[in-house]
Homo-oligomer: A and B are copies of this chain.
Amino acid sequence: MMRPYRQALDILRDAGLRPTRQRLGLARLLFDGGDRHVTAEHLHAEAVGANLPVSLATIYNTLHQFTQAGLLREVVVDPGRSYFDTNISAHHHFFHESTGDLRDIPADAMEVARVPVPPTGTVVERVDIIVRVKNA
């Protein structure tokens, strides 16, 4: 698998982030393959398991840098735990609180009729829909 390396390199270049070993490795883990939802802890375990020694501090730094660069999107569904989503296009989420399972709902699978006018002096940044599910 050589191609993902090149891709990761370009992704970082385009984002103006210096392509360090850690960032390259994390970018490959995150952006190779399909859409992913990760927590810092989760990504850290995965990186270490993939022979990419990274500190948790760097994981946090990187997740925030990637988010700021528009490569990731933070999803708030759980108090006290942040999820990051590699799918940055408009879409929504299913969330299973007891399992922590988070998965995408394509934007066109649901539709919001009439977004209300926001409070004076503010503008809408985005609309997040979380469909909370539990075991049947």
Q: Which residues of A contact B (CB under 8 A)?
A: 74, 76-82, 94, 96-97, 101, 103, 105, 109-116, 118-119, 121-136
Residue of B nearest to A99 (CB): B122
Instruction: Contact check, A115 vs B131: say whether CB atoms are below 8 A apart.
Output: yes
Helix, strand, loop or mixed for chain A's interface? Answer: strand
Cα distance A105–B118 when bound, in Å?
Answer: 9
Contact A128 B129 (CB under 8 A): yes
Known contacts A79-B80, A112-B112; is-contact A124 B131 (Cβ 8 Å): yes
A112 to B114 Cα, complex, angstroms: 9
Can you give 27 contacting A-B residue pairs, CB < 8 Å?
Answer: A76-B79, A76-B130, A79-B79, A101-B119, A103-B119, A109-B114, A110-B113, A111-B114, A112-B112, A112-B113, A112-B129, A113-B113, A116-B131, A118-B131, A118-B133, A119-B133, A122-B133, A122-B134, A122-B135, A123-B136, A124-B132, A126-B132, A127-B129, A127-B130, A127-B132, A128-B129, A128-B130
Contacts of A97 in B (CB 8 A): 125
